[in-house]
A and B are shown apart, each in its own frame.
Chain A
Amino acid sequence: MNKLSAFGKGSIILVIIFLASLWIFPMWQIDLRAPQYPGGLSMKIWINDITGDVDIINGLNHYIGMKTIHKADFREFVYLPVAILSFMGLGVVVLLLNRRIGYYLWTAVFLVLGLFSFYDFYKWEYDYGHNLNPDAPIKVPGMAYQPPLLGYKKMLNFEALSQPHVGGWCFILAGVLLLAGCYYERRKSTRL
């Protein structure tokens, strides 16, 4: 019996729905707060876009020599939607094949995709925070401005809080569901 359980099949559909939410909600949100910005500034990262107070943040960053953020500079906004869409398509195939091995492989693909996305995001943040214009008017020795991947960080007069938005939570939930699915399928297969 290598066929998927009802839970396994249901989870595939749920994962696809969760991932579809990435086109409706942002993935990640970075909130900034400074004394001069009582209402705060916020930047929302979507699967294919970056929105929020990007212009204002770009204007501020020139003091410390950070690069300006432009949607066109992100190849990810092209690759990521294609990758996620393909992954969702693959899910339909796994569902139709109805084999446990397909489910395990699909989960593995998700983990690779997820880890690579986080690594890529981190790499961009590192470059954004470290690769500074040497002519910048404000230079603080030893200071880097890498925003946190997750959580809170204070940088000069700014406090930054980075956390998943609805889309991001759905993505994480999809991962949790897949791992739970694997565990369940595995237990079911060994018991029988």
Chain B
Amino acid sequence: MKRLSFLMICCAVLGSMQSCKMKNTESAVSGDAASKVYVAPGKYDEFYNFVSGGFNGQVTVYGLPSGRLLKMIPVFSLNPENGYGYSEETKDMLKTTAGYVPWDDQHHLELSQTNGEHDGRWLFANANNTPRIARIDLSTFKTMEILEIPNSAGNHSSPFITENTEYVVAGTRFAVPMGNEDVPINSFKQNFKSTATFVRVDKTTGNMDIAFQIMLPGMNLDLSHAGKGPSHDWFFFSTYNTEQANTLLEVNASQKDKDFIVAVNWKKAEEYANAGKGKRLPAGYVHNTFDEHTQNTTSTLQKDVLVLDPKDCPDMLYMIPCPKSPHGCDIDPTGEYIVGSGKLAALIPVFSFTKLQAAIQNKKFEGVYYGIPVVKYEEALYGEVKKPGLGPLHTEFDAEGNAYTSFFISSEVVKWNIKDLKVIDRSPTFYSVGHLMVPGGDTKKPYGKYLVAYNKITKDRFLPTGPELAQSAQLYSIEGEKLKLLLDFPTFGEPHYAQALPAQKIKDKSTKFYDIMQNKHPFIALGEKNAKVIRQGNRVDIYMTAIRSHLTPDNIEGVFVGDEIYFHVTNLEQDWDVPHGFAIKNNANAELLIMPGETSTLKFIPDKQGIYPFYCTDFCSALHQEMQGYLRVSAKGSNVPLKYGTNATDTAAVLTAQK
């Protein structure tokens, strides 16, 4: 008997050794994964997935569940491919108080909401480096507006929005002195401030303007999310470096056991702002808007901003202690639970909005931080998820009361129940996930079904491409109790946060082409008859048309070295997917990609005489290769008259002569 049980133990040990093998992809993927992500040719994906581009400054759009790349939307970086930031119409979109900033670091995205649900109108994007917020139109997938944020540096906890898109917020990651004051760096504690900026969004046009800024003590605001339902009036920002270090933050900002989540009663702040409790402080910032009809950018320089000082605004701000440099600050669909993710912690604190309100009511404070009441940790705490993993970063939700948290250090996603705080399942990510995303996972009504992990490390996931690799994203099914890995797909730039909504919500209102009769561009050539060349001093405006398969005019003479030449190209097509491109030899500029019904302008200053061919760069038709022309550039002061046309009459004359 004893021998038998010994044998059984041996077998069990051997068996468990088998299952002790480290998990790899093969063991993580189950049999029917392929059919779950297969979108047959001609069929569409179920979701649009908008993914931040990180250090490429743009937004990429993928289809889910296929992981196919659908589009790259240029936002904060130049895009020579379609002339964004190069064309005369779009270059001012990148204008800031520091001049033209051709690049940024795009971290987070937020789809506009009505009643806490996606309304499919706009997508907001933040710029971390030179603080800005952009608004993208979801019918054209075009950047329509960029607003600079003053008194800020590292616009990280942005562009999160309130339930009805009343406000989109910006928060300072790198505390800086207000008004660009010149102070010693080590005077951080006295002079450096953080700001939480509330940007109003117009209900119908989507236009943004800064309503007010809340001046906070110098610290790093990391992420944020608005309350919903019962917590509608509140906004929550996670913070780190409440130690207020200004050097070697790696160590110096990791000293305290707890940093804070800042709870902002934005309704109250709005009241204070309206009641004149704020101060208008001088602060320059640029606001760029793109008009779809004139197809031009209007850039305006704003001169001041309304600043609310918490000292003058009681009951507006509270601090909730949160373990170890929290990153994500996420509110569940009911609006009751606030999940903080201490990125150096080994637990996840879940706060209760009801308890927080009671604690504020009953003044259960443990002290003050620069005059702001700090609520007792236990008084706001609903409970802690114990031993979920190491390094929680960010949490999203499904509609069934479950939460999904990404763990950077232990490289996994963990599913847990909000009510009983018990871990349900965990699945490895390859490797070191940053943000994760459940479609609608930060709204009142998550769509669920999938989870995407946006990983920070790629290593061996795809065929090697030298030292510089694409990033890797992973798609999981969350339909069952267990997380199921379905797909790996490469992403570009470095995705941080992402959003996804059902394709149904926007696909049918996607613009196919621009109505040329609505084109109010000041340099439009409405029809070939209106194509012309006009010289004013050394400025030459070429009103050109493009239609399959010719450019009008295509022979231009009487232009001189040093002239400022503007090619205003109008695409006369009125059909879907017939763009024309435009480029000219030796131009120290990009090309244009002109959509049907659109007019775009490319500037060219020739510095040598010669014949310069120009042509259509987008393979538009069977005669695309013939869609070309010549610009003759003569030496300055030479006697060449201005002449242009398609020489159509000449051709006719030749033909008649031949007959």
Contact = CB atoms under 8 A, between A and B. Distances in A.
Interface of A: 55-56, 59, 63, 135, 137-138
B622 A59 contact: no
A56 B547 CA distance: 12
Contacts of B575: 56, 59
B271 to A, nearest CB: 53
B105 interface: no
A55 B575 CA distance: 9
B335 to A, nearest CB: 44
A138 B548 CA distance: 13
B398 interface: no
B653 to A, nearest CB: 13
B573 interface: yes
B402 interface: no
B574 interface: yes
Contacts of A138: 622
B623 interface: yes
Q: Which of A59, A63, A135 has the most CB of B within 10 A?
A: A59
B291 interface: no
Contacts of B626: 137
Contact of B574 (A55, A63, A137): A55
Interface in B548-577: 548-549, 573-575
Contact of B655 (A56, A59, A135, A137): A135
Interface residues of B, number: 11
5 contacts: A56-B574, A63-B621, A63-B622, A135-B655, A138-B622
A59 B546 CA distance: 12
A66 to B, nearest CB: 14
Contacts of B655: 135
A135 B573 CA distance: 22
Interface in B620-643: 621-623, 626
A135 B655 CA distance: 9
Contacts of A135: 655
Main secondary structure of the interface of A (DSSP, over half): loop
Contact of B623 (A55, A56, A59, A137): A137
A137 B655 CA distance: 15
Nearest to A56: B575
Nearest to B548: A59
A81 to B, nearest CB: 29
Nearest to A36: B577
A23 B36 CA distance: 52
Contacts of B623: 63, 137
A93 B548 CA distance: 55
Nearest to B623: A137
Contacts of A63: 621-623
Contacts of B574: 55-56
A43 to B, nearest CB: 14
Main secondary structure of the interface of B (DSSP, over half): loop
B60 to A, nearest CB: 25
Contacts of B621: 63
Contacts of A137: 549, 622-623, 626
A143 to B, nearest CB: 15
Nearest to B621: A63
A137 B626 CA distance: 10
Interface string B643-659: 00000000000010000
A10 B626 CA distance: 63
Contacts of B573: 59
Interface string B572-589: 011100000000000000
Interface string B521-557: 0000000000000000000000000011100000000
A35 to B, nearest CB: 12
Nearest to A55: B574
Nearest to A135: B655
A138 to B, nearest CB: 7
A138 B575 CA distance: 21
A59 B572 CA distance: 11
A108 B573 CA distance: 48
Nearest to A138: B622
B552 to A, nearest CB: 14
Nearest to B577: A36
B650 to A, nearest CB: 13
Contacts of A56: 574-575
A137 B548 CA distance: 12
A-B residue pairs, 8 tightest by C-beta: A56-B575, A137-B623, A55-B574, A59-B548, A63-B622, A63-B623, A138-B622, A59-B575
A68 to B, nearest CB: 13
A59 B623 CA distance: 13
B476 to A, nearest CB: 33
B652 to A, nearest CB: 9
A52 to B, nearest CB: 13
Interface in B593-630: 621-623, 626
A56 B573 CA distance: 9
B401 to A, nearest CB: 43
Nearest to B572: A59
A137 B550 CA distance: 12
Contacts of B548: 59
Nearest to B547: A59
B649 to A, nearest CB: 13
Nearest to A38: B42
Given A135-B655, A137-B626, A138-B622, 13 more contacts: A55-B574, A56-B574, A56-B575, A59-B547, A59-B548, A59-B573, A59-B575, A63-B621, A63-B622, A63-B623, A137-B549, A137-B622, A137-B623
Nearest to A60: B548
Nearest to B42: A38
A59 to B, nearest CB: 6
A22 B622 CA distance: 39
A69 to B, nearest CB: 15
A31 B568 CA distance: 36
A136 to B, nearest CB: 11
B490 to A, nearest CB: 29
A98 to B, nearest CB: 55
Nearest to A59: B548
A135 B654 CA distance: 12
A6 B446 CA distance: 68
B421 to A, nearest CB: 52
A63 B621 CA distance: 10
Contacts of A59: 547-548, 573, 575
B634 to A, nearest CB: 32
A42 to B, nearest CB: 14
A59 B516 CA distance: 15
B177 to A, nearest CB: 59
A186 to B, nearest CB: 54
Nearest to B575: A56
A180 B433 CA distance: 79
A54 to B, nearest CB: 11
A68 B646 CA distance: 20
Nearest to A157: B622
A63 B575 CA distance: 16
A92 B243 CA distance: 98
Contacts of B622: 63, 137-138
Nearest to B578: A59
B297 to A, nearest CB: 30
A63 B548 CA distance: 9
